[in-house]
């Protein structure tokens, strides 16, 4: 499956930095990511946060024998946004054998915080 055919592609997410220590990805604030009242949808922010954390976790595993999947996520929506671009910056708090915990900040173009999130990723064995 091509990434364009997933939620990542549907919401217009792009990756600008990919390392085991930091994942940075962006998403436009537009008709696909806004609530009917015109603000960035909290669910779109959570999708961006979990995507950044999941990609970061994926960089720590052997995809031939393991998989990474979201286990828990929380988010505090700090500031509204009506248009432009938001950027998620994900950094690991814990890299374990069966779980990983990532801290994600979503910021606007002026680096003002839009959302703070923490995501726990489960690491499983491929069967």
How large is the C-alpha radius of gyration of the chain? Answer: 14
Select which of 17, 21, 50, 109 is catalytic: 50
Is there a catalytic annotation at residue 50? yes
Task: Tell me if 90 sits within 8 A of 46, measured CB to CB.
Answer: no
Rounded CA separation 2/34 (Å): 24
SS (H, E, C) 66-83: EEEEEEEEEEEECCCCCC
Provide the annotated active-site residues.
50
């Amino acid at each position: 499956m091509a990434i364009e055919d997933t939620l990542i592609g549907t919401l217009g997410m792009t990756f600008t930095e990919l390392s085991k220590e930091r994942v940075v990805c962006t998403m436009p604030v537009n008709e696909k990511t806004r609530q009917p009242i015109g603000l960035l949808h909290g669910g779109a922010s959570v999708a961006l946060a979990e995507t950044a954390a999941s990609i970061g976790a994926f960089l720590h595993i052997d995809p031939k024998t393991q998989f990474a999947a979201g286990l828990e996520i929380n988010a505090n929506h700090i500031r509204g946004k009506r248009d432009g671009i938001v950027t998620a910056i994900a950094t690991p708090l814990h890299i374990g054998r069966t779980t990983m915990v990532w801290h994600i900040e979503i910021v606007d173009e002026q680096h003002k915080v839009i959302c703070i999130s923490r995501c726990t990723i489960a690491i499983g064995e491929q069967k």
